[in-house]
Amino acid sequence: MHWRDQGVFLASRRHGENAAILEVFTENHGRHLGYLRGASSRKMSSALQPGTQMTVEWRARLSEHLGYFTIEPIRSRAASILNERLALAALTSVCSLLTKILAERQSAEILYHQTLSFLDILEVHRDDWMVAYLHWELDLLREAGTGLSLDHCAFTGRKRGLRFVSTRTGRALVAEAVNFNDSDLLDLPPCLVGGHFNGLRDFATGLKLTGYFLRQIIAETAPPKKALAARYRLEDTVNRMVRTKQ
């Protein structure tokens, strides 16, 4: 068995003294694992950073085997944001979420290209990367089968004035359609429905929204606090920054 593909490096774990088992999100083969010889070398160590775009070759005697990777780095992402704490936390969160939520060896070509688009935005420090991150998490939820319906109010059909999302249905609501004593509501930041982005406060609100549904997915297979550790660190960092600015 043999294939060649493009991919984004997600994570690795050491295997012996000089090798590692890599996780790569590939364009045509989904999240895929493979054994890489010489992973601890200086050349490979610099390439095996979260978000690195690479060409990947995979070989195995049988399709169900772990197989061996050969990689050729194309583009490093982490190097350009090493001094940007929040952006680096977002990059780490993206890679971690992909390892925890995507099924292994299941093609997710649309999400792959959406991920590359977000990484491009993050790398060049565009001001709207936080909004792009929230939309990327919505894309991930959709890929996982938990897409949110945010284009109109579930009760009135209105497309303007959307303020909340029901935790039970994942559908948007206008203020007039809700009972404000209902605890099953989450705030919907305007930036997710075409409105103005109000900085870190909106980012925090959006992370709380998408984080709720991400935890529901993870809870089916693993303790969310551990599985979503990188995602929690991102959210905690944003919340601390919001409190500092108050």
Q: The domain that contains 125 carries what CATH number?
A: 1.20.1440
The pLDDT of residue 181 is: 63
What count of Cα atoms within 13 Å lies in the side-chain half-sphere of residue 187? 11
CB 39 within 8 A of CB 54: no
Residue 159 lies in a domain: no
3-class DSSP state of 32: strand
Tell me, yes or no, whether 173 lies in a domain: no
Mean of pLDDT values over 139-145: 97
Which tokens go with 182? Answer: 């209902």
Query: What is the value of pTM for the model shown?
Result: 0.94
Shared domain check, 72 and 12: yes
Boundary (domain end) residue, out of 76, 97, 129: 76
Per residue in 85-107, pLDDT (tens digit) is 999 999 999 999 999 999 999 99
Supply 236's token pair: 């905690």
What CATH number does the domain containing 19 carry?
2.40.50.140
Q: Do residues 168 and 238 lie in contact, with contact meaning Cβ atoms separated by under 8 Å?
A: no
Question: Does residue 241 sit within a domain?
Answer: yes
Q: Which of 11-15, 40-44, 178-182, 207-211 has the highest mean pLDDT?
A: 207-211
Alpha helix segments (H runs only) across 124-199: 129-143
Is residue 23 situated within a structural domain?
A: yes
Say if residue 131 is in the same domain as residue 53: no
Task: Output 42 or 184, whichever has higher pLDDT.
Answer: 184
pLDDT of residue 246: 63
Strands (E), 52-132: 53-59, 68-75
Domain identity same for 31 and 111:
no
Q: Looking at the predicted structure, is the pLDDT value of residue 60 above 90?
A: yes
Report how many domains make up the chain. Answer: 2
Q: Is 90 exceeded by the pLDDT of residue 18? A: no
Do residues 111 and 143 lie in contact, with contact meaning Cβ atoms separated by under 8 Å? yes
Predicted confidence (pLDDT) at residue 14 exceeds the cutoff of 90: no
Out of 32, 48, 76, a domain closes at: 76
Enclosing domain of residue 213: 85-150+188-245
Q: What is the CA radius of gyration of the chain?
A: 19
What is the C-alpha to C-alpha distance for residues 222 and 231, in angstroms, rounded to an integer? Answer: 15
Q: How far are the Cα atoms of 35, 126, 221 from residue 147, in angstroms, in the given order? A: 34, 26, 19
**Percent of all residues in the chain with a pLDDT value above 70, rounded to a whole number:** 98
Q: Which of 76, 100, 115 is a domain's end point?
A: 76
Is the pLDDT score of 145 beyond 90? yes
Mean pLDDT of 17-45: 91
Instruction: Give the pLDDT band of residue 220 (cuts 50, 70, 90).
Output: confident
Domain shared by 30 and 111, yes or no: no
**135 in a domain, yes or no?**
yes
Where does residue 85 rank: exposed (0-12), middle (13-18), buried (19+ CB within 10 A)?
exposed
For 45-54, what is the mean pLDDT? 91
Q: 100 and 13, same structural domain?
A: no
Same domain, yes or no, for 220 and 119? yes
Q: What six digits make up the tokens of 162? A: 């959307």
Q: Is the pLDDT of residue 150 over 70?
A: yes
What pLDDT was estimated at residue 41?
84
43 with 116, same domain: the answer is no
pLDDT tens digits, 64-76: 999 999 999 999 8
* Structural domain includes residue 16: yes
Instruction: State whether 90 and 15 are in the same domain.
Output: no
**Could you give the residue ranges of the DSSP H alpha helices within 124-219?**
129-143, 200-218
Whether residue 164 lies inside any domain: the answer is: no
**157 occurs within a structural domain:** no
Least confident of 51-55, 127-131, 144-148, 164-168: 127-131
The answer to whether the CB of 31 falls within 8 A of the CB of 102 is yes
What pLDDT is attached to residue 180?
63
